[in-house]
Amino acid sequence: MEQVQVPPPPSPPGTAPAPRARVNGGRLRRPLLIVFLLAVLLVLLAPLTTTDQADSLGVPVLVDRSQIRILTTVAMFVVMASGWNLVGGLTGYGSFGNVAFFGLGAYTCAVAVDVHRLHLPMAAGIAFAPLVPAAFAALVGLALLRLRGHYFAIATLGTAVAVGEVVKNVDYLGGATGLFPPILHSADLLFLYLMVGAALLAVIVSRLILRSRFGYGLIAIRENEEAASVIGVNTTAYKVGAFTVAAALTGLAGGVFAVWNSFINQELGFSLDFNIQMILMAVLGGAGTLFGPVLGVIVLEFLLQNVAGRSDVAVYAQIGLGLLLAVTVIFVPRGIVDFFGGSSRLSLAHLRRALRETSA
């Protein structure tokens, strides 16, 4: 997972800049342009809030409800995988429980908009959604981030399971039945925009972090935490900071999901499926890189929708997911992004080498 290219030190005057830097710049600029264009497109489309309007105007894609659902799901996982990437990829703390933040965000929003509870407008619910998970992450992060390796992974997994169980046992939060945020019939495209907006926000935040002092500090922690501490990185603050930002982003996705789905319970909010999918997407695409998680989401969603999703029995999809995990971990541990301009090519020789590097 060492593939974030730390830019080479500035070359002394008179020498040509390192070719690597130029390649990286060119490689990053085009996807960033796409991010920008998507943002513009989002602003332009914003007045168009229902599929009926889209139908009457003849806008493609936005008239097909199943396409909209898939696009919204893709955007949702982009948020979650990018959020996980900040902790698991950039900081090197392999969290196994980020779905706790998703669930907390979803429940925060659901409680806020519920008619029998706070009964606030939807915008307020979504605005509150990142706050509770972020506060929770800052609090438990102080304890959990003292752990490393297996201990950290299982402790985070335990957090997710335990928080889900507590939520299920509290009547105010709907207990085992769950909560039902009001259904918004009048604007079925709105949730696509909201989720894509959240995804763009996640990518932009990741990009800002990657190129900041904060981001370099996180990478330093991943490479060698003691050394990072010695050179003056406040490791606790940095780690908890990354955990909190990841929680806020993931919680935002959860909040939008709650109103989009207009139903949330423990199984949905703290779904271990979502939990593992966001990790698999980030690792499959390329953990620690900016666009790796995005690529991973697109590839995995494509596979799930077209290969696994087509078989009527969900168990085969699950077996396929397990198989994909195994294949990814064994053959493409650096992620797909690595094949584009990275050190690896998708070739039999490379796959064999990857296998040899980690085998007994």
Binding interface with other proteins (CB under 8 A): 1, 88, 94, 96, 143, 146-147, 149-151, 153-155, 157-159, 161-162, 165-166, 168-169, 276, 279-280, 283, 313, 315-316, 318-319, 321-326, 328-330, 333, 355, 357-360
Cβ proximity to other proteins, 44 vs 360, nearer residue = 360
> For residue 138, what are the contacts with CB-CB under 8 A and spacing of at least 6?
240, 243, 244, 247
> Could you tell me the smallest distance in angstroms from the CB atom of residue 315 to other proteins?
4
Cβ proximity to other proteins, 183 vs 355, nearer residue = 355
Helix 65-84 vs helix 190-210: angle between axes, to the nearest 10 degrees?
20
* Both tokens assigned to 47: 């007045």
Cβ proximity to other proteins, 81 vs 324, nearer residue = 324
Residue owning tokens 């909560």: 179
> Could you tell me the smallest distance in angstroms from the CB atom of residue 334 to other proteins?
11
Residue 266 three-state SS: helix
> Could you tell me the smallest distance in angstroms from the CB atom of residue 167 to other proteins?
10
> Could you tell me the smallest distance in angstroms from the CB atom of residue 289 to other proteins?
16
Cβ proximity to other proteins, 123 vs 154, nearer residue = 154
* Other Cβ atoms within 10 Å of 346 Cβ, number: 12
Cβ proximity to other proteins, 190 vs 324, nearer residue = 324
> Could you tell me the smallest distance in angstroms from the CB atom of residue 169 to other proteins?
5
Q: CA-to-CA distance for 42 and 49, rounded, in angstroms?
A: 11
| Helix ranges restricted to H, the chain | 19-45, 51-57, 65-84, 99-113, 122-128, 131-144, 149-169, 190-210, 213-223, 225-230, 235-261, 266-269, 272-285, 292-303, 314-331, 348-358
